[in-house]
Homo-oligomer: A and B are copies of this chain.
Amino acid sequence: MTKQFLQSPPSNTHKLGEFELIRDIFKTRAEQMMKAKPQHAPLLGIGDDGAVIASRPNEELVITTDMLVADRHFFADADPYLVGKKSLAVNLSDLAAMGAKPTGFTLALALPKQRQAWLHGFANGLFDLAELFDCHLIGGDTCQGPLTISITAFGVIPSGQAIKRSGAQVGDSIWVSGELGDARLALAHHRNEWSLNLESKDLDQVNQRLHSPVPRVALGIALREIATSALDISDGLLGDLRHILEASHVGAQINIDALPRSQVLRRQAQAIQYQCAASGGDDYELCFTTNSNQHDKITKLSAELGLPLTCIGQIIKSQDENSLILENSDGVPLSPKQTKELQRSFDHFRD
């Protein structure tokens, strides 16, 4: 998933959102067809970070697709090198969430006009990331149109090992990788949104997080045998976590003060910290669940990867298929209004 970070924050007006829209229209039809015509149906279809289809012996192919639109997902005048890198990174982040090792991708690109310098920069960023992860460009389509980048990425995984959203169990621990909220802080600065306490070097750090996300591929691969569920939290932690809760029919209790934040974010007002870390989005970290006896293993994995892995709560029995309890570090629950506000994921069709 990618976050459209450039549009205004969503209003409270309830309209049919992206997720409901896709489910209602496309998912229903796709599932009907899978029942009626099971031949070549995917092993896992719409509704996770990637689809899974049978591949070579003992191996499955994980497939994910993401579209990035200029001035919605990135500034049209942004450094094309960084746009190229990020275009692929957001797809590899989805593969990482499934535990897959990236192998290849296709690229469809609409460009407003012939822009060779832009294309060279874009291709350099794209291939620098592709080479880092041994992920081959295998096909593409280029046309004239409003600057839009659509990548479909492929990864492999041993049969049956894809990490789904549906595996979380009551009692599981909930984890997130890295630090959350810096990308949202960078965006707030670009938007002049809040009163921020940012020095020049702070800005470099948060801009880096916004423009150069690193997909957590090694983590995803390591989690195949440990995690009961996982997803990529590019749309904001709490909104994305909702997908695990819905798919697994469970609830969650989250310690909002446990959310891992950078020193830069910790210097901001508490409300900004909460907002950025809990529902800021564009972080491209993984949220995953494990059996509660896996803490030592995760601590060791964190040290091996040099990547913070933080326990932020636990899976509880669901009251209504979507129950989320937010508490502060003193165990005091946040108000329902505050919880709802923080929980709301970014929605591409709510303006």
Q: What residues of chain A have their CB less than 8 Å away from a CB belonging to chain B?
A: 1-2, 4, 7, 15-16, 18, 21-22, 25-26, 29-30, 33-34, 36-37, 39-42, 45-46, 50-51, 53-57, 61, 63-67, 69, 72-73, 103-104, 106-111, 113-114, 116, 119-120, 123, 127, 130-131, 134, 136-146, 148, 150, 152, 154, 156, 348-349, 351
Contact = CB atoms under 8 A, between A and B. Distances in A.
Contact of A21 (B66, B119, B150): B119
B144 A40 contact: no
Contacts of A72: 143-145
A144 B69 contact: yes
A34 B25 CA distance: 39
A328 to B, nearest CB: 34
Given A46-B140, A73-B143, A150-B108, A120 B29 contact: no
A261 to B, nearest CB: 28
Contacts of A34: 136
A-B residue pairs, 5 tightest by C-beta: A69-B145, A150-B150, A67-B108, A51-B138, A40-B103
B67 A148 contact: yes
20 contacts: A2-B143, A7-B144, A15-B114, A16-B116, A21-B116, A22-B140, A22-B142, A37-B131, A39-B134, A46-B140, A53-B104, A56-B56, A57-B57, A63-B138, A65-B152, A67-B141, A67-B148, A72-B144, A72-B145, A106-B152
B65 A61 contact: no
Tell me the interface secondary structure of chain A in the complex.
mixed
Contacts of A65: 106-108, 139-141, 150, 152
B25 A139 contact: no
A334 to B, nearest CB: 30
Contacts of A139: 45-46, 50-51, 63-65
Given A40-B156, A65-B152, A72-B144, 11 more contacts: A2-B141, A22-B140, A30-B138, A40-B103, A42-B104, A45-B139, A53-B104, A63-B154, A64-B106, A65-B150, A69-B145
Given A25-B123, A67-B148, A152-B65, A46 B143 contact: no
A53 B29 CA distance: 28
Max chain B C-beta neighbours (<10 A), residue from A2, A7, A66: A66
Contacts of A22: 140, 142
Contacts of A104: 40, 42, 51, 53
A61 B69 CA distance: 29
A40 B142 contact: no
Contacts of A131: 33, 36-37
A119 B150 CA distance: 19
